[in-house]
């Protein structure tokens, strides 16, 4: 038996002993009193439409029926989608040939580009960057799913998202918009030293993602944060392989598991895509592989195998019923000299050794392998570019690059919405292997890709109920849990009796200055003056005064040094363009850097040595140090509290002695810091990474080793070591610290 109900998107059927069936077209098949979606438009109930069958059997049945053009569509993952797409923002699109502002369209309506890639190119995996609000997200999801349902085979859309739950999720390469519960970023979760808390985080993400129509999370990031200069170290769980494995395992269990489901999959599940195989952390000199100047991961410490542990002992071995992470994303990097079979130094997705031999073969991973975004496109003609990532295979055509990745065992191509290169790759494969074998290879990927759609119940009901979504997204329970995690993630490094603060004090907070610098997308950001205080929040705690003389105490908000490892100006002046990424505020000269780079070579460069010994760099926020020093001098004996938003492990030597208290924030709201300052909560966070003594120890360390940096010892005699942190009673010693120290000792062996 079943019931039928009209909905804004179409009709909803409820099977008495089965799933809900949502349809915009009301094309259904009724058999034995049960309702099934009729996606094929036939009277016969095909096996892939029968929700009583196992997900894999359904996926295999549909894969055999699909023309190669549909399989090519499944193999693509769209570029980042902005909802709505604004003309002055990134990834701008059009509505009826006009920009959004001039079109008169609603925020949730489909762009011209979305209609094309859903219809002509048959894309069914869509990456969402910005969502205006819950209402917009729900209506856009339903419109997109309706459009997909009306296409041949009615394959629903798998929406995905980069992490969007961080307290500073407005960062350029993270999901934003549409307020959700706020949690610490990766290092902040690592600072909890609690896999159980990470599992709860995964559950919260799953609830809100499903309420927004998102069924794949491009997370967790289980790279090891062994290289402190890397710009993405803040999104890792830290440098310890065992801790990272435990956190990644817990997160995937929380994210993927539908309770009371025999195999763990269902309407509450979100597929996890672990990144970045085989570990993107050891980028040489800390330069990131989004850019050609940072394309090499190096292993001077011979520690390649340890970077696999978060995968092989973590997300590939889940405790929960889903068993393993549903997808893996290789990083852009060329893992220098890691290929011990063919000796090829190419981007990870183009490496037969890393994907076919190691990932698929040695470790038996049979889930989805999806490339990072934009690796198949032709490269730009200059080094300082965003999006030139076909590393090591620049001489190949786009079709040849796709075929090479398919030959290695890659299933999906991130950032692609044009099916032509994949279809050309298929034709090349047919010439090389024969049509039967190439068709078999395409079906193999199709089964993997379809499997997740069936597992998450999208073939039954991909539509959202606005009222239910509003009740879930950013609800009080989830927001409270996220805020508690924020409080617990803050690490107190120092406290000479300055904290906690009693009463409503008069507080001086200096404004910040950040010099001009390059953005994540390598555009020029102008210099800016900024007030670090969220005024409406700060006023709930303290009276802000305009001068140190009026103040009873000072709070100085700073960031870790913001620096860049490449200079167009240096290259234009005849240098190699490379300079040190610095973790200190004062101008830095790399006197102790290695004389010659470990890796090098690019068709745009006439040299292979990317060394930068003897070169200088100054971070864009060098004046943050001046704020601390000047405030200390101006405040005299009155307390100075330093709150540092730590994107990267920072050299504390320049400012530590001038602070009476230091709080490290790995991504929290300002209210959390103020609650701790006022004693409304007890500091409990522990350092998930070491803070270096100086830049010499950073330059002399090996990018792939987790424990070869000498930590800083402060003026109170405390060492800013892995798992160090203070509470009101002093140095924290508990089960977490004991277990962490044991893991750290094991990682040094």
Verify that 424 and 351 share a domain, yes or no: yes
Residue whose C-alpha is closest to residue 469's, from 291, 90, 212, 229: 212
Mean pLDDT (whole number) for 485-494? 98
Q: Decide: helix, strand or coil at residue 444.
A: helix
pLDDT at 743 exceeding the cut of 90: no
Mean pLDDT (whole number) for 716-733? 98
Verify that 157 and 197 share a domain, yes or no: yes
Mean pLDDT (whole number) for 475-504? 97
Quick one: pLDDT at residue 90?
81
Q: pTM of the prediction? A: 0.96
Quick one: pLDDT at residue 174?
54
Q: Domain ends where: 571, 595, 620? A: 620
Structural domain that includes position 491: 476-512+531-562+625-748
What is the tens place of the pLDDT at every residue in 623-633? Answer: 999 999 999 99
Q: Domain ends where: 576, 593, 620? A: 620
Mean pLDDT (whole number) for 221-233? 98
Verify that 555 and 572 share a domain, yes or no: no
What is the tens place of the pLDDT at every residue in 15-27? Answer: 998 999 999 999 9
What is the tens place of the pLDDT at every residue in 309-347? Answer: 999 999 999 999 999 999 999 999 999 999 999 999 999
d(CA 711, CA 328) in angstroms, rounded, equals 33
pLDDT at 175 exceeding the cut of 60: no
Verify that 404 and 503 share a domain, yes or no: no
Place of tokens 């003897």: 614
Quick one: pLDDT at residue 567?
97
pLDDT at 745 exceeding the cut of 90: no
Verify that 40 and 72 share a domain, yes or no: no
Residue whose C-alpha is closest to residue 122's, from 162, 61, 71: 71
Residue whose C-alpha is closest to residue 266's, from 279, 255, 282, 281: 255
- In a domain, residue 524? The reply is no
What is the tens place of the pLDDT at every residue in 372-382? Answer: 999 999 999 99
Task: Looking at 232-361, list the stretches that DSSP marks H as alpha helix, in order from N- to C-terminal side.
Answer: 241-256, 309-310, 352
Q: 700: part of which helix (H) or strand (E)? A: helix 695-700
Verify that 552 and 581 share a domain, yes or no: no
Is the distance from CB of 532 to CB of 557 less than 8 angstroms?
yes
pLDDT at 169 exceeding the cut of 50: no
Verify that 458 and 482 share a domain, yes or no: no
Chain-centroid distance of CA 171 in Å reads 11
CATH number at residue 662: 3.40.50.1700
pLDDT at 170 exceeding the cut of 50: no
Mean pLDDT of the chain: 96
Verify that 665 and 584 share a domain, yes or no: no
Q: How many domains does the chain have?
A: 4
Verify that 480 and 587 share a domain, yes or no: no
pLDDT at 196 exceeding the cut of 70: yes
Quick one: pLDDT at residue 172?
43
What is the tens place of the pLDDT at every residue in 270-306? Answer: 999 999 999 999 999 999 999 999 999 999 999 999 9
What is the tens place of the pLDDT at every residue in 657-666? Answer: 999 999 999 9
Quick one: pLDDT at residue 177?
59
Quick one: pLDDT at residue 282?
98
Mean pLDDT (whole number) for 708-729? 98
What is the tens place of the pLDDT at every residue in 62-119? Answer: 999 999 999 999 999 999 999 999 998 788 899 999 999 999 999 999 999 999 999 9
pLDDT band for 173, please (50, 70, 90 cuts). very low
Verify that 348 and 375 share a domain, yes or no: yes
- In a domain, residue 519? The reply is no
pLDDT at 685 exceeding the cut of 90: yes
CATH number at residue 72: 3.20.20.300
Token pair of 706, please? Answer: 């987790």
Q: Domain ends where: 472, 489, 521? A: 472
Quick one: pLDDT at residue 744?
67
pLDDT at 176 exceeding the cut of 80: no
Verify that 170 and 315 share a domain, yes or no: yes
- In a domain, residue 325? The reply is yes
Range in 158-172, 241-255, 725-739 the model is least confident about: 158-172
Mean pLDDT (whole number) for 208-231? 98
d(CA 586, CA 128) in angstroms, rounded, equals 39
- In a domain, residue 526? The reply is no
- In a domain, residue 221? The reply is yes
Verify that 587 and 658 share a domain, yes or no: no
- In a domain, residue 523? The reply is no
pLDDT band for 171, please (50, 70, 90 cuts). very low
């Amino acid at each position: 038996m079943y019931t039928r109900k009209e909905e804004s998107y179409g009709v909803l059927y409820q099977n008495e002993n089965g799933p809900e069936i949502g349809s915009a077209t009301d094309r259904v098949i009724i058999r034995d009193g049960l309702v099934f979606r009729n996606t094929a438009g036939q009277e016969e109930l095909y096996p892939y439409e029968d929700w009583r069958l196992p997900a894999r059997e359904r996926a295999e049945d549909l894969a055999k029926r699909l023309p190669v053009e549909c399989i090519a569509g499944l193999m693509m993952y769209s570029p980042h989608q902005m909802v709505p797409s604004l003309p002055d923002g990134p990834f701008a699109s059009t509505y009826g040939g006009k920009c959004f502002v001039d079109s008169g369209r609603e925020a949730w309506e489909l762009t011209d580009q979305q209609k094309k890639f859903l219809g002509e190119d048959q894309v069914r995996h869509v990456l969402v960057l910005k969502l205006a609000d819950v209402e917009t997200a729900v209506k856009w999801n339903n419109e997109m799913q309706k459009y997909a349902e009306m296409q041949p085979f009615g394959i629903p859309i798998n929406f995905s998202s980069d992490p969007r739950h961080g307290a500073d999720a407005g960062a350029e390469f993270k999901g934003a918009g549409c307020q959700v519960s706020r949690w610490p970023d990766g290092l902040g979760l690592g600072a909890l030293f609690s896999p159980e808390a990470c599992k709860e985080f995964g559950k919260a993400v799953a609830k809100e993602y499903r309420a927004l129509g998102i069924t794949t999370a491009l997370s967790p990031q289980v790279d090891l944060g062994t290289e402190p200069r890397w710009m993405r170290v803040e999104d890792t769980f830290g440098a310890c392989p065992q801790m990272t494995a435990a956190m990644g395992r817990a997160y995937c269990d929380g994210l993927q598991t539908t309770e009371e489901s025999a195999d763990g999959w269902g309407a509450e599940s979100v597929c996890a895509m672990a990144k970045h195989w085989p570990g993107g952390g050891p980028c040489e000199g800390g330069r990131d592989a989004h850019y050609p100047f940072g394309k090499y991961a190096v292993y001077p410490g011979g520690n390649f195998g340890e970077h696999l542990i978060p995968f092989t002992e973590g997300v590939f071995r889940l405790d929960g019923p889903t068993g393993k992470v549903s997808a893996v994303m290789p990083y852009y990097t060329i893992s220098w000299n890691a290929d011990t079979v063919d000796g090829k130094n190419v981007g990870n997705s183009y490496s037969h050794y890393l994907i076919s031999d190691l990932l698929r073969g040695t470790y038996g991973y049979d889930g989805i392998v999806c490339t990072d975004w934009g690796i198949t496109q032709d490269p730009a003609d200059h080094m300082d570019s965003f999006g030139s990532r076909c590393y090591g295979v620049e001489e190949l055509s786009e079709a040849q690059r796709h075929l090479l990745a398919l030959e290695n065992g890659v299933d999906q191509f991130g950032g692609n919405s044009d099916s032509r290169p994949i279809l050309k790759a298929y034709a090349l494969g047919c010439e090389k292997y024969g049509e039967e074998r190439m068709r078999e290879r395409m079906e193999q990927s199709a089964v993997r890709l379809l499997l997740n759609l069936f597992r998450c119940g999208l073939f039954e009901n991909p539509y959202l109920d606005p009222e239910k979504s509003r009740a879930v997204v950013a609800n009080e329970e989830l927001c409270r849990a996220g805020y508690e995690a924020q409080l617990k993630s803050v690490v107190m490094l120092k406290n000479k009796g300055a904290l906690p603060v009693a009463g409503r004090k008069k507080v001086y907070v200096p404004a910040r200055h950040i010099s001009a610098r390059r953005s994540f997308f390598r555009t020029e950001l102008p210099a800016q003056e900024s007030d670090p205080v969220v005024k409406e929040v700060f006023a709930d705690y303290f009276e802000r005064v305009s001068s140190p003389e009026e103040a009873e105490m000072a709070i100085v908000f700073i960031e870790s040094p913001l620096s860049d490892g490449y200079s167009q100006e240096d290259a234009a002046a005849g240098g190699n363009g490379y300079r040190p990424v610095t973790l200190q505020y004062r101008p830095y000269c790399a006197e102790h850097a290695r004389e010659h780079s470990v890796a090098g070579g690019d068709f745009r460069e006439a040299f292979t040595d990317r060394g930068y010994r003897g070169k200088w760099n100054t971070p864009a926020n060098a004046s943050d140090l001046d704020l601390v020093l000047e405030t200390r001098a101006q405040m005299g004996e009155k307390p100075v509290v330093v709150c540092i938003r730590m994107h990267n492990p920072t050299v504390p030597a320049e400012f530590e002695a001038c602070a009476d208290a230091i709080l490290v924030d790995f991504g929290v709201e300002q209210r959390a810091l103020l609650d701790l300052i006022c004693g409304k909560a007890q500091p409990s966070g522990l350092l998930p990474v070491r803070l270096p003594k100086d830049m010499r120890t950073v330059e002399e360390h090996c990018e792939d080793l987790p424990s070869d940096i000498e930590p800083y010892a402060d003026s109170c005699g405390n060492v800013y070591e892995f798992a160090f942190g203070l509470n009101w009673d002093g140095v924290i010693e508990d089960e977490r610290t004991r277990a962490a120290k044991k893991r750290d000792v094991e990682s040094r062996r």
